């Protein structure tokens, strides 16, 4: 059942077995799993069915370094489905090394291992509609060359791994009918949670308090189990505002809520040059037998990470920066002109580095725009062919081409990188002094990297270039300028908000335990990338859904369905 919390007729209190805060990927998957096990679940979503700029305004926050961190709310969505409404669909699992103790990285320790998460990847992929857990090219693409490029005989790089893509699925749209029809689920839209309610002393959760936009009195959801699944940033705000029983906020006795904030470092460094006559290069998207888009990438191997004390690093051949009209491509110039209308997850690739490049090429001048216009005018026929093909494979297709990969007749491509940053105590999210319309303090973002992060990035890039020196012709080329830029680079992937309520062995190192239960508050759990102890290199969505499925199993084993009072009938009568 889906209800609008702004409308009259709701009781002042609603009882449930489990209250879930947030209807993004984690919240929706958890609700469906628990309901299937017979539990009565109430899910609160701060936004509505669809994107609303007025609702989105609640996500506005202060960034201490807005040029470095970027716009805080660009990749978050305050609506049913959460940020999956802006998701590009990339699915990559964490590797065993991501869960290992890595003493060369600060605080790189998980209280669980890869074997605790791996069994849930298959089910997570089902929820995300990304096929089966085959992440090696030989498995997913039988009969095709396994490696991205042939003849690379180095153990320092891995070239046969693939990333799988959802179509991409907006979980709010994809599972709306199930959420609506399941009698054990009550989903409240326009129901922003003000705080988690706790028993005296804060030792146990007892529910959540919800603001009602058009009502004087807030609504309370009473449940012995509360799961905050509100994303890596908003989870911090809710925990810190939950200060009625503990002034510092729940889970924050050791001042760790909001700390160790991690993103992935992103940028373009160097280029990869394939032999012009190479026939076995596989850098573009391919489709599995069941139609799933997948793509190979370059990954610094776990053996090399251990030997050289590196962090996770992945590189992908990319197209030239769209800002600079010097690329002479009508397609790239057109992409630049329409970038504001592209879905946010892909627009990130087009805009995250834009301001830096704009300064380099003098963007804004009449000559700058004239050069883009010239590219389009001279390349009209090829642009028309591309537009028709892109519309067929992206705009009108259910399973969409994930992004544009343009063929360069020279075989030379810039390299786009995603790099892991180490957990940093001083990289944090806190409450600022500005208030939103509900009287809640907005967030203050202070994302920080360390010098060691940049040193590892430079060393990783050099390692990759050296590995390709021993290939049959493919080369990775790095200039001194590339390495100098990498040594000072501080630009994150905009939508990966990780580690702000990390799991740990003890409350001195994190906010929640191995089962995602908040230290010191029984019955209060967290779901999402906020609980990651480290970020790895992989996009977080697949692993956060896998961890959510693991949490569902824990709650089902611990829970006792049927404890909730019969409020469903009251809600149906009110509707």
Q: What is the DSSP string of 509-557?
A: T-SB-TTSBBTTSBTEEE-SGGG-S---SS-SHHHHHHHHHHHHHHHHH
Q: How far apart are alpha carbons 111 and 516 in whole angstroms?
A: 10
Q: CA–CA distance from 139 to each of 135, 136, 506 (Å)?
A: 7, 5, 40
Instruction: Answer whether 138's CB lies under 8 Å from 160's CB.
Output: yes
Residue 101's SS3 state is: coil
Sign of the alpha-carbon torsion through 506, 511, 515, 518: positive
Burial class (CB in 10 A: 0-12, 13-18, 19+), 250: buried
CA dihedral 315, 319, 325, 326 (to 10 degrees): 80
Question: What superfamily does domain 2-130+169-263+425-448+497-574 belong to in CATH?
Answer: FAD/NAD(P)-binding domain (3.50.50.60)
Q: For residue 219, what is the enclosing H or E element? A: strand 219-222
Q: Where are the domains of the chain?
A: 2-130+169-263+425-448+497-574, 135-165+264-319+407-420+450-489, 322-404
Q: What is the DSSP string of 345-375?
A: HHHHHHHTTHHHHHHHHTTTSHHHHHHHHHH
First vs last C-alpha separation in the chain:
10
Strand partners, 268: 416
DSSP 391: I
Look at residue 566 in the predicted model and tell me its pLDDT: 45
Q: How far apart are alpha carbons 198 and 22 in whole angstroms?
A: 19
Q: Classify strands 205-210 and 185-189 as parallel, antiparallel or unpaired.
A: unpaired
pTM as predicted: 0.92
Instruction: Answer whether 318's CB lies under 8 Å from 335's CB.
Output: no
pLDDT tens digits, residue range 446-461?
999 999 999 999 999 9
Instruction: Answer whether 423's CB lies under 8 Å from 302's CB.
Output: no
pLDDT tens digits, residue range 298-346?
999 999 999 999 999 999 998 877 777 777 788 787 877 776 655 554 5
**Closest by Cα among 215, 152, 225 to 560:** 225
Q: How far apart are alpha carbons 553 and 548 in whole angstroms?
A: 9
Instruction: Answer whether 265's CB lies under 8 Å from 421's CB.
Output: yes
Q: How far apart are alpha carbons 169 and 165 in whole angstroms?
A: 10
What are the φ/ψ torsions at residue 41 (nearest 5 degrees)?
-125, 135
Q: Classify strands 62-63 and 441-446 as parallel, antiparallel or unpaired.
A: parallel
Q: What is the pLDDT along the chain (575 residues), one digit of tens a residue?
A: 999 999 888 999 999 999 999 999 999 999 999 999 999 999 999 999 998 999 899 999 988 886 678 777 777 899 999 999 989 999 999 999 999 999 999 999 999 999 999 999 999 999 999 999 999 999 999 999 999 999 999 999 999 999 999 999 999 999 999 999 999 999 999 999 999 999 999 999 999 999 987 667 899 999 999 999 999 999 999 999 999 999 999 999 999 999 999 999 999 999 999 998 778 999 999 999 999 999 999 999 999 999 999 999 999 998 877 777 777 788 787 877 776 655 554 555 555 555 555 556 565 677 877 888 888 888 888 888 878 877 787 778 889 988 888 888 788 899 999 999 999 999 999 999 999 999 999 999 999 999 999 999 999 999 999 999 988 889 999 999 999 999 999 988 878 999 999 999 999 999 999 999 999 999 999 999 999 999 999 999 999 999 999 999 999 999 754 444 444 444 554 45
């Amino acid at each position: 059942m889906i209800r609008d919390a702004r409308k009259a007729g709701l009781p002042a209190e609603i009882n449930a077995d489990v209250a879930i805060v947030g209807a993004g990927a984690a919240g929706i998957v958890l609700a469906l799993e628990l309901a299937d096990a017979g539990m009565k679940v109430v899910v609160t979503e701060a936004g509505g069915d669809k994107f609303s700029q007025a609702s989105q305004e609640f996500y506005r926050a202060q960034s201490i370094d807005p040029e470095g961190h970027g716009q805080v709310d660009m990749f978050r969505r305050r609506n049913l489905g959460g940020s999956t409404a802006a998701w590009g669909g990339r699915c990559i699992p964490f590797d065993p090394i991501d869960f290992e103790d890595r003493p060369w990285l600060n605080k790189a320790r998980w209280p669980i291992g890869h074997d605790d998460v791996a069994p849930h990847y298959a089910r997570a992929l089902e929820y995300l509609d990304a096929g089966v857990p085959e992440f090696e090219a030989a498995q997913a693409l039988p009969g095709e060359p396994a490696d991205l490029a042939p003849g690379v005989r180095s153990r320092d790089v891995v070239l046969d791994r693939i990333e799988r893509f959802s179509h991409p699925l907006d979980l709010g749209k994809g599972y709306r009918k199930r959420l609506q029809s399941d009698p054990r689920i009550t989903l409240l839209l326009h129901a922003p949670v003000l705080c988690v309610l706790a028993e005296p002393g804060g030792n146990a959760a007892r529910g959540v308090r919800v603001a009602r936009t058009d009502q004087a009195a807030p609504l309370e959801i009473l449940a012995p189990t509360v799961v905050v699944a509100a994303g890596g940033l908003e989870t911090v705000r809710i925990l810190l505002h939950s200060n009625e029983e503990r002034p510092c906020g729940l889970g924050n006795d050791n001042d760790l809520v909001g700390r160790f904030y991690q993103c992935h470092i992103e940028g373009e460094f160097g280029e990869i040059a394939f032999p012009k006559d190479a026939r076995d290069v596989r850098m573009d998207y391919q489709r599995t037998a069941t139609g799933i888009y997948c793509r190979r990438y370059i990954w610094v191997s776990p053996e090399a990470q251990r030997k050289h004390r590196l962090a996770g690093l992945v590189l992908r051949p990319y197209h030239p920066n769209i800002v600079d009209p010097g690329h002479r491509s009508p397609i790239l110039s057109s992409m630049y002109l329409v970038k504001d209308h592209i879905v946010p997850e892909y627009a990130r690739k087009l805009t995250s580095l834009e301001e830096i490049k704009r300064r380099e090429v003098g963007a804004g001048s009449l000559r700058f725009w004239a050069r883009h216009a010239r590219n389009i005018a001279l390349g009209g026929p090829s642009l028309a062919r591309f537009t028709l093909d892109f519309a067929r494979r992206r705009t009108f297709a259910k399973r969409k081409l994930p992004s544009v990969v343009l063929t360069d007749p020279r075989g030379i491509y810039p390299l786009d990188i995603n790099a892991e940053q180490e957990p940093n105590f001083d990289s944090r999210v806190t409450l600022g002094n500005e208030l939103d319309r509900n009287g809640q303090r907005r967030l203050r973002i202070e994302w920080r990297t360390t010098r060691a992060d940049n040193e590892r990035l430079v060393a990783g890039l050099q390692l990759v270039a050296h590995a390709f020196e021993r290939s049959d012709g493919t080369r990775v080329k790095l200039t001194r300028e590339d390495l100098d830029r990498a040594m000072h680079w501080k630009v994150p992937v905009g939508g990966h908000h990780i580690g702000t309520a990390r799991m740990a062995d003890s409350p001195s190192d994190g906010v929640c335990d191995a089962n995602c239960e908040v230290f010191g508050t029984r019955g209060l759990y967290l779901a999402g990338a906020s609980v990651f102890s480290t970020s790895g290199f992989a996009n977080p969505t697949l692993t956060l859904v896998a961890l959510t499925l693991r949490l569902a199993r824990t709650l089902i084993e611990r829970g006792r369905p049927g404890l909730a009072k019969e409020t469903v009938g009251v809600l149906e009568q009110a509707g």
